[in-house]
Chains A and B, each alone.
Chain A
Amino acid sequence: MPPSLRIRRALLIDDDPVSLFVLAQMIAQQGWEVEKTQSPKVALKWLEGNGATRFDAVLTDYHMPEMKGLEVVASVREIDPSLATILITSDNERRTLSQSIKEGVLDFLEKPVRPDQLSAALSKAVVHTREHRRFLENQVRLRQVASIQRRLAPELRISSQAGLCCKLTARCYPLYEAGGDFLSVAPEQKEIFQAALGDISGHGLQEGFIATYFQGMVRGMQTLGASAEQIAKRCNSFLLYDWAANNDIPCSLSAIFLELNLTERKIRITNCGCPGGFFYKKSHEPIPVDAAGPALGWFDPFEPGIEEFDHLDAGQILFWSDGLVDTADRFGVQPTSLAARLLLTEPHLTPTIFESMSMPDDIMVAKLSWAPDVEFEALDFLPIYHTNFHGGLGNGVDDIHRSILACLHMAIPHLKEHRIHNIALCCREAILNAIQHGCGYDSSHHAFISIELHLSNPQLLRIVVADSGKGFDYNSFDPTLLDPIENEHNHVSLGLRVIRGLADAVRFHKNGSHIEIDFYLTSS
């Protein structure tokens, strides 16, 4: 029923039975239903539970022995802040006016009440109450939109005929009630898995609506077997010509498309304005996705950035909208650590980090990983941190140390402080070893460190530090025999002893120039 046709109902409270009767008659004459009582306590009982929603206004006398009118108003506001209240006073109670307004009284009537004043106050009350309630209902619906958007971020896993397992995990966090980021996948074509991550310019309900439109368009084309380039080209021309001709709202779409060919074991990335993310081969070495092109809806001709990787038995790509990069920057961490945190959070939950600091934009983050069926679980991991450094790093080791601590706190918040401290110390020791012995303090020699979380059971945190040096004879090194006092100047031995003492497992590869340090996260 339209709101204007709904019955209007008032709750009238006055301890004086004559006044109560007269006012009730006057209200009824205005076409309202009235429920009346001499007791404020009884009235408040009627409002409790869901009772308040039956009324469009509460009219209360000011001076009552059981409860003052302003106390009634305060209690009504507590029960239902959207319900309008009108305070009825006698002439000598005018001074209560300012206090009444403070308490949130909508209007103020003086006894004896005149019908025209009553009519005006009731009209104002019904508009106020219904508008306020509609606003609150809309807020609830908007939150539901956000929840739907979050649930639309898919989590799926397929096995191809070629014996490869492919898994996509994604999380969506709209900045407001709804957001402009979306993800669309086409798992129907099992040998070519296609995923498209889109980010409509701006963020809010309007962008959420536009994003849904484009998600539908992209999804439709994916289902019909269109390639990423065809989809991107269509979106570009649609935005430049159809959209611009019919809308005053300027709009562009940043999008990144992944096409994983499970038979040919290659992946093609088509990027139109999104941050590139990272590609990880089986070796887990991070390769920044360099493919870059302008957002869709900017230019004609359309020139996406395209990059291909082939000969892939296993690998993964982490990709995201720019909201993730901006948010990571705000927290002072690497995007991978924030991505790990979000991907490890249950889809329906909001990570606690967003309680302490707001995000600057909508966030969509996804991880696409693939591996032979039998190896998939063992190879599944989440990168947390990585950086390259050189032999001339010097005091920069402190910056890396701080950054590692921040990224570990971000990615694995439940990890105990002393554990994080030990992991970061091992990283530092491995870096010092690489700088001194791998790179010989020479800035033309390089090394890298990566930290990743293996999702096997038990979960494992693996640090890899590799340098370009010749390595050392790690077989001859027996740390248990070395006395740190007697070997004061043997920094390698002391650093490695620290690592061995703190970590759960240490392995050397490539003649010792590549060290792997493991921490089992379930151990004490």
Chain B
Amino acid sequence: MKSTLEDTTLRISFDGDLLSTNVHDLRPKLFQALEANPDATTLHADLKNCKVIDSMGLNLLIALYRECEKRKISFKAINVSPEVKRLFGFLNLTSRFGVE
């Protein structure tokens, strides 16, 4: 996972799938990235390398979304594959995650 700040946009890029087997490692890193960038007003979750997101991976994204809500940070999932977009679609997450 990589995080970069450009102006006030924090971009978090995931290296691969978001799965039950890696969310426990990712979770603290995500929250540390938020802590380390208090000036961020927008968060872009870059899902370019995420082919598969399971329910635990979704939970992680939802937790990140809620944390952003708390911190008044606008949340947006970018580079979303058609499969993941479909998943977001029937879970009513598309507009909340700012997916176009």
Contacts and interface: CB of A to CB of B under 8 A. Distances in A.
From DSSP, what is the main secondary structure of chain B's interface residues? helix
- Number of chain B interface residues as a range: 20 to 34
A477 to B, nearest CB: 14
Contacts of A502: 87
Interface residues of A, number: 25
A484 B52 contact: no
B39 interface: no
B62 A488 contact: yes
B87 A418 contact: no
A498 B54 contact: yes
A506 to B, nearest CB: 13
A398 B19 contact: yes
Q: Name the 8 nearest CB pairs between A and B, nearest first.
A: A501-B90, A495-B55, A494-B55, A395-B21, A488-B62, A398-B21, A484-B91, A428-B54
A432 B20 contact: yes
Given A398-B21, A497-B91, A485 B54 contact: no
A428 B86 CA distance: 17
A491 B56 contact: yes
B73 to A, nearest CB: 15
B54 to A, nearest CB: 5
A240 B59 CA distance: 66
Nearest to B54: A428
Contacts of B82: 418
13 contacts: A394-B21, A395-B21, A418-B83, A421-B52, A428-B54, A432-B55, A432-B56, A484-B62, A485-B62, A485-B65, A495-B54, A498-B54, A498-B55
A421 B82 CA distance: 12
A397 B54 CA distance: 12
B13 to A, nearest CB: 21
Contacts of A428: 19-20, 52, 54
B22 to A, nearest CB: 9
A485 B86 CA distance: 17
A519 to B, nearest CB: 14
B91 A422 contact: no
Interface in B37-77: 51-52, 54-56, 58-59, 62-63, 65-66
B96 interface: yes
A501 B87 CA distance: 8
A502 B58 CA distance: 15
B59 A489 contact: yes
